[in-house]
Chains A and B, each alone.
Chain A
Amino acid sequence: DQQVKQNSPSLSVQEGRISILNCDYTNSMFDYFLWYKKYPAEGPTFLISISSIKDKNEDGRFTVFLNKSAKHLSLHIVPSQPGDSAVYFCAAAAKGGGNKLTFGTGTQLKVEL
């Protein structure tokens, strides 16, 4: 049972444009969400997070939006840069869930020149 879903395995965007990565979840107990970026042969690197009491969090070029009623979140990267090319994972945690993160399967972002 995939509780966190990233339905787009890949996304291609031109440099300077906006990248929008999507994530859906099914477990209504999730109340903390994180985005990680991962390069090949490296560990995931934390990007940005959001708790369920907010609907938006911004950090530089990265903004995460949370729509609790739709159980949907998205990561916006603007402007996109070639160095952003990586796999992006959405992860979720539930209060009382023992701190374990439940990950999506990832979206491969390619930013083209």
Chain B
Amino acid sequence: NAGVMQNPRHLVRRRGQEARLRCSPMKGHSHVYWYRQLPEEGLKFMVYLQKENIIDESGMPKERFSAEFPKEGPSILRIQQVVRGDSAAYFCASSPNGAVFEVQYFGPGTRLTVT
């Protein structure tokens, strides 16, 4: 499967625990984007990363959320001390070069439920 991979597909965490969401971009893509979709809403941009660099984190909450895309391995979105309001679908997308007129291809998402 050459598409964007995300795991886990479903994640249940209790309030106060940590959530780690993983994203492997499409083969040949070095740019990764994370979006969050709350129930009944559209997708909202969170962060844009290139290998070992955060390019734009203007959509990330200031506290508890962090993202990385190491030289080797998948991109990780980390949410510390989760709260009920973090329950959402988190989508990762990738693109080859990060150019503006470039399609972003999405993974299947991770559905986070905080109990």
Known: A43-B6, A51-B101, A99-B33. 12 other contacts (CB 8 A): A36-B106, A41-B111, A43-B106, A46-B104, A49-B101, A99-B98, A99-B102, A99-B104, A100-B48, A100-B59, A105-B41, A106-B42
Distance in angstroms between the alpha carbons of A72 and B56 in the assembled complex: 27
Q: Are B42 and A103 in contact (CB under 8 A)?
A: yes
Instruction: Please list the residues of chain A having a beta carbon within 8 angstroms of any beta carbon in chain B.
Output: 4, 31-32, 34, 36, 41-46, 49, 51, 89, 91, 93-106
Q: How many A-B residue pairs have CB under 8 A?
A: 73
Distance in angstroms between the alpha carbons of A80 and B91 in the assembled complex: 28
Q: Is B108 at the interface (CB under 8 A from chain A)?
A: yes
Q: Are A100 and B103 in contact (CB under 8 A)?
A: no
In the assembled complex, which residues on chain B have CB atoms less than 8 Å from the CB atom of A31? Answer: 100
Distance in angstroms between the alpha carbons of A96 and B98 in the assembled complex: 11
User: Would you list 13 pairs from A and B whose C-beta atoms are within 8 A, ordered by A residue?
Assistant: A41-B109, A43-B4, A43-B91, A43-B107, A45-B106, A46-B105, A93-B100, A99-B48, A99-B98, A100-B48, A101-B33, A103-B44, A105-B41
CB contact under 8 A between A100 and B100, given known A43-B4, A43-B91, A46-B105 = no
A57–chain B nearest beta-carbon distance, Å: 12
Q: How many residues of B contact A (CB 8 A)?
A: 31
Instruction: Select which of B43, B58, B95, B105 is within 8 A of A98 by beta carbon.
Output: B58
Q: Is B31 at the interface (CB under 8 A from chain A)?
A: yes
